[in-house]
Amino acid sequence: MRSAYEFQPNLGSIPIKRIKIDLRSRDDIPAILLGLQLIWCDPEKQEKLFALLDGHIGPVPHRPAGRPGMDMWRILVLAVLRCGIGCDFDRLQELANQHRTVRKMLGHGDDRVDGYQYSRQTVSANVALLPPELLHEVKILVESTGHAVAKKRAWRRVGRPG
């Protein structure tokens, strides 16, 4: 079975709930990462999310050749980023390898300690596992989480002005 998240943290990585996301940024990436972080921190939403993913993503093959498997959380983060910012796989690979906050959300630590780099093929093959219908269900879950948080406190809009 494909794991939901690698619970053996990489050297230098920090827990997802402790990642500091720049709330002042007007870019859309921090807003997307904040939504994912809120779901991660809510056990009920997290369970619902992984139940959705488990139904669509099969187990990792147990053979030495083939696509390197990624845990469900990493696949989800990359897929949500791709849909949220409308990027191609080349830009998504660049974000996964170079964007510090995205790398933290993927469970990687400092590049000097954890130098893991994603290949374009690994990113595209794993993200393609999530069908559009599933991403729509995830979008609804992320939005409902965001609305619940917005009702609890006065929330400044994060993201690009529309």
* Domain count along the chain: 1
More confident residue, 110 or 150: 110
In a domain, 77, yes or no: yes
In a domain, 90, yes or no: yes
Under the banding of pLDDT at 50, 70 and 90, the label for residue 152 is: low
**Cβ count near 135 (within 10 Å):** 19
Tell me, what's the pLDDT at 56?
Answer: 76
In a domain, 4, yes or no: no
Asked whether the predicted pLDDT for residue 9 surpasses 80, the reply is no
Tell me, what's the pLDDT at 125?
Answer: 93
Tell me, what's the pLDDT at 50?
Answer: 87
In a domain, 37, yes or no: yes
Euclidean distance between CA atoms 132 and 79, whole angstroms = 10
In a domain, 11, yes or no: no
**Cβ count near 65 (within 10 Å):** 5
More confident residue, 112 or 98: 98
Range of the domain at 77: 29-152
For residue 71, CA distances in Å to 75, 143, 149, 162 come to 7, 23, 27, 33
Average pLDDT over the chain, rounded to whole? 80
Region for 18 from its dihedrals, namely left if φ exceeds 0, alpha if ψ lies in -120 to 50, beta otherwise: alpha
**Cβ count near 92 (within 10 Å):** 21
- End-to-end Cα distance, the chain: 41
In a domain, 58, yes or no: yes
pLDDT of 55-109, one tens digit each? 777 655 544 445 567 888 999 999 999 988 999 999 999 999 999 999 999 988 8
Burial letters 8-28, b for 16+ CB under 10 A, else e: eeeeebeebeebebeeebeee
Tell me, what's the pLDDT at 77?
Answer: 94
Amino acid symbol at 63: R
Average pLDDT rounded to a whole number, residues 113-127: 88
Asked whether the predicted pLDDT for residue 1 surpasses 60, the reply is no
| Cβ atoms of 63 and 43 closer than 8 Å | no
Tell me, what's the pLDDT at 7?
Answer: 55
More confident residue, 97 or 54: 97
Asked whether the predicted pLDDT for residue 52 surpasses 50, the reply is yes
Q: What is the DSSP letter of 10?
A: P
Tell me, what's the pLDDT at 70?
Answer: 84
Tell me, what's the pLDDT at 119?
Answer: 94
In a domain, 62, yes or no: yes
